[in-house]
Amino acid sequence: MGVIINIDSVRAFGRHGLSDEERSRPQPFEVDLKVCLVNDEAARSDSIEDTIDYDSIVSITVEAVESTQCKLIEHLAGLIGGRIMDSHGDKVESVSVTVRKLHPPMTYHVGSVGVCVESVSSDAK
């Protein structure tokens, strides 16, 4: 048995994109997170010490979206995953981060564009 924490639709405004115009004003982004824990201790113990505080994961995510400027959302997703791994690395085996830009500047109308980046602990490789 493994423990996977899913947090969906974290919303934050950031200045990410290739053009100066995209980075000149905040735009809406949405992030989904899948955090795989190293062990399943929390499923057996019912103790907060054996898992990760979900709010801390969301806080890391929102801070990354709001305080950085990336040309590529691929880079932003990798940055978020890296920060979660750095902050909770002893408890985390892998992190999957999906970032969606909700109003991309494209020729055709689309609901969003997004990428998914997976970060894996060096111990798990």
Per-residue pLDDT tens over the stretch 10-64: 999 999 999 998 899 999 999 999 999 999 988 999 998 999 999 999 999 999 9
Strands, E assignment, 38-111: 92-101
pLDDT tier at 124 (50, 70, 90 boundaries)? low
Please name which of 9, 51, 53, 5 lies closest in space to residue 29, comparing C-alpha atoms: 9
CA–CA separation, 25 vs 41, rounded Å? Answer: 44
pLDDT of residue 64: 98
Whole-structure pTM value = 0.92
Q: Answer whether 29's CB lies under 8 Å from 102's CB.
A: yes
Q: Is the pLDDT of residue 125 over 60?
A: no
Q: Is the pLDDT of residue 105 over 90?
A: no
pLDDT tier at 1 (50, 70, 90 boundaries)? low
pLDDT tier at 98 (50, 70, 90 boundaries)? very high
The CATH number given to 4-120 is 3.30.1130.10
pLDDT of residue 106: 86
| pLDDT tens per residue across span 57-91 | 999 999 999 999 999 999 999 999 999 999 997 89
Strands, E assignment, the chain: 4-14, 27-37, 92-101, 113-120
CB atoms within 10 A of CB 103: 13
